[in-house]
Amino acid sequence: MGLTILVIGSGGREHVISQKLIQSPKVETVFCAKGNDGMKEDGIKLVNISEDDHLGLINFAKKNQVDWTFVGPEVPLLNGIVDDFTRAGLLAFGPMKAAALIEGSKDFAKNIMNKYKIPTADHQTFFDIDQAKAYVLKQGAPIVIKADGLAAGKGVVVAETVEEANNALKDMLENNKFGTSGTKVVIEEFLVGEEFSLLAFVRNQEVYPMVIAQDHKRAYDNDLGPNTGGMGAYAPVPQIPNDIVKEAIETILKPTASGMMAEGRAFTGILYAGLIATEEGPKVIEFNARFGDPETQVVLQRLESDFAQVIDDLLKGEQPEIKWKQDGYSVGVVVAAKGYPEAYQKGSLIPVFSTVDKEHIYYAGVTEEKGRLVSDGGRVYLVEASAKTLKEAQQAVYAVLNSVDTQGTFFRKDIGSKGMNEK
């Protein structure tokens, strides 16, 4: 009998995680709670239990003889879902609550980085608006203002002027725009350089880095418009040289994993470092305690080893074998509802895609109505393609998108272009 696995989450990230698991010859069944209707096309079984119902999920896992559970999003991790599963005698992959705090509090993450000399932007934490404003005035613009807690990628303002910075401080500290996430702010030096995401499988002090990716946070082409959860990604990132990645592994990932151990907050799960390659070397702009979305939809395409086997080994104390493809690129373009990341419409018809081997569709904000998928969220789906060159992969994605009716939605036309400009 093969493995029975439960994946928690419902976006494109969880779609690709579930799909890679189900493709493994070791795996019999993949359940996803709650998942989305688009995942059913891949044989993933949806479970109608919400990600905050830990007890419901534990009971489901026991009743269905789930071998282990993979937790996709940050919210259940920060709510201690892995602690709860572990207490119930179940295996779950992801950091415990105490370790997930590296994503849950920017202030906590900054303290870890200071203590263990991990390169990051200079910064200071404030509760008081007058003190914060005085600091901004002293530092000058551009400057970065971050709400302390989780804000779904939207709690960061890169202020071009002191006035813009002051407005952001007012929103966070006075108007509670981000609720309790914004009662404390971190003000940070603006870093100049190319951005990239370096993720790793981590088990205590062991760090197994992945192929790097680049996300596109702004809504529109040429990095214009508001910040979003991510509008597309590609991997690897050719303009970031290997020695920078090696340096980031040595100066950032490894000391972070061992620092968390030393703090009594040993981290097991996916550690995501959002980095900027500055002239002084790579520096951290954020840590996440989970896979990135949309990075995962491209990074997992680069994995040559069996994903289910890797997680199984990590959970069971075995030595994992993790091999990455040496050649080729993957590009993923997010299709979002018109209006996203502000108010957007729901109910647009999702096109029916033809089954072409090298292309993949990963669904996120969709639901089934009268037998057809319609949009039901901000980020609706992602189209991914892999090819020998970045250009071919990009062309393949846009060929798919240009061949269908994308009514009610929009997508960026330049995902992957940065990787070609500088070559």
For residue 121, the partner it binds in ligand GLY, ligand AMP, none, with Cβ less than 5 to 8 A by kind, is: ligand AMP
Nearest to 371 by CA among 44, 41, 49, 31: 41
Computed on alpha carbons and rounded to an integer, the radius of gyration of the chain in Å comes to 21
Residue 103 binding target from ligand AMP, ligand GLY, none, CB below 5 to 8 Å by type: none
Residue 30 token pair: 């993949």
The Cα–Cα gap between 47 and 35 comes to 7
Residue in 108, 190, 208, 353 binding ligand AMP, rule: CB under 6 A: 190
3 or 210: CB nearest ligand GLY: 210
Q: Quote the CA–CA distance of 127 and 243 in Å, as a whole number.
A: 39
The DSSP symbol for 405 reads: -
Nearer to ligand AMP, 143 or 337 (CB): 143
At 333, list the tokens. 């373009």
Contacted entry of ligand GLY, ligand AMP, none for residue 285, CB cut-off 5 to 8 Å set by kind: ligand AMP
Contact region with ligand AMP (CB under 6 A), list: 108-116, 188-196, 391-399, 405-413:
188-196
Q: Which residues, 6+ apart, have CB-to-CB distance to 130 below 8 Å?
A: none
Give burial (CB, 10 Å; 0-12/13-18/19+) of 224: exposed
Judged by beta carbon, residue 293 or residue 312, the one nearer ligand GLY is 293
Q: Which partner, ligand AMP, ligand GLY, none, binds residue 295 by CB below 5 to 8 Å per kind?
A: ligand GLY
Enumerate binding residues for ligand GLY (CB under 6 A). 153, 215, 230, 288, 292-293, 295
Instruction: Give 401's contacts (C-beta < 8 A, 6+ positions apart).
Output: 333, 335, 383, 411
Q: Choose between 11 and 35: whose C-beta lies nearer to ligand AMP.
A: 11
Footprint on residues 132-171 left by ligand AMP (CB under 6 A): 144, 153, 156, 158
**CA torsion, points 134, 140, 141, 144, in degrees to nearest 10?**
-50
Contact flag: residue 225 with ligand AMP (CB under 6 A): no
Of the pair 223, 368, the CB lying nearest ligand AMP is at 223
366-369 and 372-375 strand pairing: antiparallel
Q: Which is nearer to ligand GLY, 295 or 312 (CB)?
A: 295
- Judged by beta carbon, residue 190 or residue 208, the one nearer ligand AMP is 190
387 is a contact residue toward ligand AMP (CB under 6 A): no
Residue of the chain from 47, 99, 121, 336 that contacts ligand AMP (CB under 6 A):
121
How far is 97 from 113, CA to CA, in rounded Å? 19
DSSP string, 132-145: HHHHHHHH-SSEEE
In the complex, the smallest distance separating the C-beta of residue 125 from ligand AMP, rounded to whole angstroms, is 14
> Which residues, 6 or more positions from 258, have their beta carbon under 8 angstroms from its beta carbon?
116, 205
Shortest Å, Cβ 334 to ligand GLY: 10
Residues in 304-323 at the binding interface with ligand AMP, rule: CB under 6 A: none
Binding flag, residue 289, ligand AMP (CB under 6 A): no
Helices (H), 173-283: 242-248, 254-262
User: Cβ 223 to ligand AMP, closest distance in Å?
Assistant: 8
> By CB under 6 A, is residue 286 in contact with ligand AMP?
yes
